[in-house]
Structure 1
Amino acid sequence: MVQAKKIILYMVVVFVLYTIITSPARSADLVQVGFEGISNAAKSVGQFMTELVS
């Protein structure tokens, strides 16, 4: 079971590296979208906490 997880992890890493190398612009767009999502989630949590305290 551990061996299978390790193989899958290696496959995912190779796929991510291949994607970055073959289309760096698209990869940059995806990273930007991910960070925007994290930022929006953090802002929402902050707003929720502010509303709780107020």
Structure 2
Amino acid sequence: MPAVAMVVVQVALAGMKVLYKLAVDRGMSLLMLITYRYIFCSAFICPIAFFLE
């Protein structure tokens, strides 16, 4: 099972790199892209931390 999780993480990271490249090539600011990433991660992680703690 850990091997499957490692593959899933690597595929997700590769997908993020492709999406970042596409967004930057189309004119999106890298600073805004990072800001959106942190907002999305906070919105996803905070409820999980709230219910598991």
Larger helix proportion, structure 1 or 2? 1
TM-score (norm 1): 0.49
TM-score (norm 2): 0.50
The answer to which structure, 1 or 2, has the higher relative contact order (CA under 8 A, 6+ apart) is 2
